Amino acid sequence: MLNGRTPSVKDVAAAAGVSLGTVSNVMNRPEVVSARTRERVERAMAELGFVRNESARQLRAGTSRTLAYVMLDGTNPFFHDVAQGIEFAAEDADLSLFICNSNSRAAREEVHLDRLLQQRVQGILITPVDPAAPHLDELVRRGVPLVIVDRVRGADSCCSVAVDDVLGGRIAVEHLAEQGHTRVAFIGGPESIGQVHERLQGAREIWESLGHDPEDLIYLPTDSLSVAEGRSAGERLAGLAARRRPTAAFCANDLLALGLLQQSIGAGLRVPDDLAIVGFDDIEFAAAAAVPLTSVRQPRQELGRAAAQLVLDEATNPNHRHQQLQFQPELVARASTATRARAL
């Protein structure tokens, strides 16, 4: 502070004995200022405690040196890993990253987007509650660089980066069928979440193509994709009649699978002998579980990095063309589905 007030550019110019234009050049075009003059100005800034007014610079330039990611669920480690991939790409471009959490609420998502527009962020990445939401169309109409992450939009109005969730559902259930399981539960919800719907679709497709009775793939919907809902699903499984009780479960994400694993062990079940479990995402906790969890791996950081590179290209490349990138999932088999002989 300078006599109780924040130092200004004029104060720096006076302290360094240079013009306002020279101070401006030091901040914005340092290569045009001699090394000696630049050092004098930077020393004056340090002594005065001067901090440039980035908001004013953004107002003049019409944009900022920040990207923003609006994640769907801040409690899910999957989105943290995606955000880390975005951060790596932002750092490479000398940009900062704002992270917002919609908590799966469309109204909260819209509030975040309105405020990010006011901040003039250089680009927005979002895992939306609804990929077809009108407020996303409004961003496109305004010309805001936008990338949909872990979702797919019907139109080619913006870029998207996602994983083939139908394939992920297929390889999870195919793995369980290969272990000899003939009654499998699919646990996840609500089905209005695009990934849940597509993973269930893939599970049903492969189950029927293998010749199994569709009724032996039992859908247990959940209110959310959380550990608590996984525990609740385990209690519901235990309540099924023995002749209908599945010997394996495919969970729509790892948090559900970890909750199911926790409840099953607490109830005295042996995993995988009494119940085999497959999750989805392959978050870090999956391998560290009490029984290491088989999971369908998504390339989480790669998703984030690719999305950030697309939004930066849209922001800086006049010849940018929208792309819809799709990554392939892979199964990581661990002890929760260890191969064993099963009685048919």
Using CA atoms, how far apart are residues 273 and 294, in angstroms rounded to an integer?
Answer: 14
Q: Answer yes or no: do 96 and 125 share one domain.
A: yes
Whose tokens are 């010997």? That residue is 247
In a domain, 59, yes or no: no
Could you tell me the pTM of the whole model?
Answer: 0.81
In a domain, 60, yes or no: no
The residue segments making up the domain with residue 19 are 2-52
In a domain, 58, yes or no: no
For residue 10, give the nearest of 37, 35, 21, 25 by alpha carbon: 21
- The three-state secondary structure class of 331 is strand
Q: Answer yes or no: do 159 and 169 share one domain.
A: no
In a domain, 17, yes or no: yes
In a domain, 61, yes or no: no
Q: Answer yes or no: do 184 and 277 share one domain.
A: yes
* Residue 343 CB contacts under 8 Å (≥ 6 apart), including other chains: none
CATH of residue 248's domain is 3.40.50.2300
Q: Answer yes or no: do 78 and 125 share one domain.
A: yes
In a domain, 215, yes or no: yes
In a domain, 129, yes or no: yes
Kindly give the confidence (pLDDT) of every residue in the chain, 344 residues in length, as a single tens digit, with 9 standing for 90 and above: 566 677 888 888 999 999 988 988 888 888 999 999 999 999 988 888 887 765 555 545 556 789 999 999 999 999 999 999 999 999 999 999 999 999 999 999 999 999 999 888 999 999 999 999 999 999 999 899 999 999 988 767 899 999 999 999 999 999 999 999 999 999 999 988 889 999 999 999 999 999 999 999 999 999 999 999 999 999 999 999 988 999 999 999 999 999 999 999 999 999 999 999 999 999 999 999 999 999 999 999 999 999 999 999 999 999 999 999 999 999 999 999 986 544 33
Using CA atoms, how far apart are residues 75 and 225, in angstroms rounded to an integer?
Answer: 10
Q: Answer yes or no: do 184 and 154 share one domain.
A: no
Q: Answer yes or no: do 155 and 193 share one domain.
A: no
CATH of residue 9's domain is 1.10.260
Strands 330-332 and 294-297: antiparallel
> How many structural domains compose the chain?
3
Strands 330-332 and 324-327: unpaired
Beta strands in 110-165 (DSSP E): 123-126, 146-149, 159-163
Whose tokens are 């040196």? That residue is 65
In a domain, 7, yes or no: yes
